Amino acid sequence: MKTYEFPFSAIVDDDDMKLGLIINAIDSKIGGILITGPKGIAKSTMVRSLSSILPEIKAVKNCRFHCNPYGNLCDECLERKKNNSLEIENMKIKIINLPNSATLDRVVGSLDIKNAIRGRAVLREGLLGEGNRGILYIDEVNLLDDSIVDSILDSAASGINIVEREGVSYIHPAGFILVGTMNPEEGELRPQLLDRFGISVEGKLPTSTEKLIEISRRVEEFDLNPEKFIEQYNDRDNEIRDRIKNARAILNEVKIDDEYLNFIANIIIENSLSNRTMISTIKAAKAIAAYNNRKNANSGDIKKALEFALNHRLKEKGKSSPDYNFNNGNQKNDSVDNEKNGENKGKRDNIDNDLNNDTGVKGNHHNTDNQDDKNQNDMGNKKNGENKINNIELSVNNKIKTKKSGKSGISDSYRNMGIKNGRNIDIRSSVLNSGMSGYKKINYNAIVMKNMYSKGSIPVIIAIDSSKSMNFNSRINIAKNISNLLLKKIYLIRSRVALLSFSGYSSKVVLNFSRNFTELENEIDNIKSSGKTPLYDALYNIYKLSAYEKIKTISILITDGRGNIFNSNPYNDLKYISEKIKNVSNLYIVNTETNEYLPSYNKLIAEYSNGKLINNLSDIKIG
Cβ-contact 392, 622 below 8 angstroms: yes
pLDDT in the model for residue 485: 67
- 618 CB-near residues (< 8 Å, 6+ apart): 387, 388, 389, 390
Say what percent of the chain tops pLDDT 90.
25
Instruction: Tell me: do 202 and 271 sit in the same domain.
Output: no
Is 106 marked active-site? no
pLDDT at residue 370 tops 60 = no
pLDDT at residue 200 tops 60 = yes
Instruction: Tell me: do 445 and 467 sit in the same domain.
Output: no
pLDDT in the model for residue 1: 67
Instruction: Tell me: do 158 and 23 sit in the same domain.
Output: yes
Quickly list H helices, 368-490: 427-436, 472-489
Instruction: Tell me: do 443 and 464 sit in the same domain.
Output: no
pLDDT in the model for residue 379: 33
Which range in 24-38, 47-61, 221-235, 550-564 is most confidently predicted, on average pLDDT?
221-235
pLDDT in the model for residue 592: 74
- CA dist 111 to 106, 188, 397, Å? 10, 33, 16
Instruction: Tell me: do 502 and 443 sit in the same domain.
Output: no
Instruction: Tell me: do 435 and 471 sit in the same domain.
Output: no
Which of these three, 287, 316, 345, is where a domain ends? 316
pLDDT in the model for residue 378: 36
Higher-pLDDT residue of 367, 76? 76
Q: What is the largest CA-CA distance in the chain?
A: 86
pLDDT digits (tens, 9 = 90+) for 58-68: 999 999 999 99
pLDDT in the model for residue 212: 92
In DSSP terms, which residues pair with 164 in a beta bridge? 169
Looking at residue 56, what DSSP letter applies? P
- The DSSP element (H or E) to which 259 belongs, if any, is helix 258-270
436 band by pLDDT with thresholds 50, 70 and 90: low
pLDDT in the model for residue 353: 44
Average pLDDT over residues 73-89: 90
pLDDT at residue 175 tops 90 = no
Pick the range with the lowest mean pLDDT from 140-149, 319-328, 525-534, 554-563. 319-328
Instruction: Tell me: do 184 and 296 sit in the same domain.
Output: no
Which of these three, 450, 480, 512, is where a domain ends? 450
Question: How remote is the C-alpha of 574 from its chain's centroid?
Answer: 32
Distance CA 218, CA 35 (A): 23
> Would you say residue 173 lies in a domain?
yes
pLDDT at residue 53 tops 50 = yes
Instruction: Tell me: do 148 and 173 sit in the same domain.
Output: yes
The CATH number given to whatever domain includes residue 309 is 1.10.8.80
Which range in 145-149, 247-251, 377-381, 502-506 is most confidently predicted, on average pLDDT?
247-251
Cβ-contact 346, 570 below 8 angstroms: no
Pick the range with the lowest mean pLDDT from 276-290, 373-387, 433-447, 540-554. 373-387
Parent domain of 417: 399-450
150 band by pLDDT with thresholds 50, 70 and 90: confident
Average pLDDT over residues 390-408: 33
> Would you say residue 241 lies in a domain?
no
Instruction: Tell me: do 428 and 300 sit in the same domain.
Output: no
Which of these three, 188, 206, 224, is where a domain ends? 206
| DSSP per-residue string spanning 124-160 | E--HHHHTTTSEEEEETGGGS-HHHHHHHHHHHHHSE
> Would you say residue 322 lies in a domain?
no
pLDDT at residue 366 tops 60 = no
> Would you say residue 221 lies in a domain?
no
Average pLDDT over residues 461-486: 75
Give the three-state DSSP class for 614. strand
- 385 CB-near residues (< 8 Å, 6+ apart): none
> Would you say residue 567 lies in a domain?
yes
Distance CA 611, CA 423 (A): 24
| End-to-end Cα separation, the chain, in angstroms | 49
Say what percent of the chain tops pLDDT 70.
72
pLDDT at residue 386 tops 90 = no
Q: How many CB atoms lie under 10 A from the CB of residue 452?
A: 11
Positive or negative: CA dihedral 213, 215, 221, 224: negative
Tell me how many degrees the CA angle 237-46-325 measures, rounded to the nearest 5: 90
pLDDT in the model for residue 352: 44
> Would you say residue 533 lies in a domain?
yes
Nearest Cα neighbor of 501 from 340, 342, 607 is 342
| DSSP per-residue string spanning 497-559 | EEEEEEETTEEEEEEEEES-HHHHHHHHHH----S---HHHHHHHHHHHHHTSSS-EEEEEEE
pLDDT in the model for residue 201: 93
pTM: 0.56
pLDDT in the model for residue 307: 93
pLDDT digits (tens, 9 = 90+) for 244-287: 999 999 999 999 999 999 999 999 998 888 898 999 999 999 99
pLDDT in the model for residue 166: 65
Q: How many domains does the chain have?
A: 4
Q: What are the φ and ψ backbone dihedral angles of 544, each rounded to 5 degrees?
A: -65, -45
Average pLDDT over residues 378-389: 34
> Would you say residue 41 lies in a domain?
yes
pLDDT digits (tens, 9 = 90+) for 210-244: 999 999 999 999 999 999 999 999 999 999 999 99
The CATH number given to whatever domain includes residue 171 is 3.40.50.300
pLDDT at residue 361 tops 70 = no
Instruction: Tell me: do 50 and 197 sit in the same domain.
Output: yes
Cβ-contact 83, 73 below 8 angstroms: no
- Count of alpha carbons within 13 Å of 365, Cβ hemisphere only? 23
- CA dist 268 to 261, 292, 340, Å? 11, 25, 21
Give the three-state DSSP class for 488. helix
pLDDT digits (tens, 9 = 90+) for 289-345: 999 999 999 999 999 999 999 988 887 666 667 778 876 444 434 333 333 333 333
Instruction: Tell me: do 465 and 545 sit in the same domain.
Output: yes
Positive or negative: CA dihedral 548, 553, 556, 560: positive
> Would you say residue 365 lies in a domain?
no
483 band by pLDDT with thresholds 50, 70 and 90: low
pLDDT at residue 165 tops 50 = yes
Instruction: Tell me: do 100 and 199 sit in the same domain.
Output: yes
Q: Which of 48, 80, 165, 276 is catalytic?
A: 276
Higher-pLDDT residue of 26, 416? 26
In DSSP terms, which residues pair with 161 in a beta bridge? 172
Nearest Cα neighbor of 378 from 524, 517, 554, 557 is 517
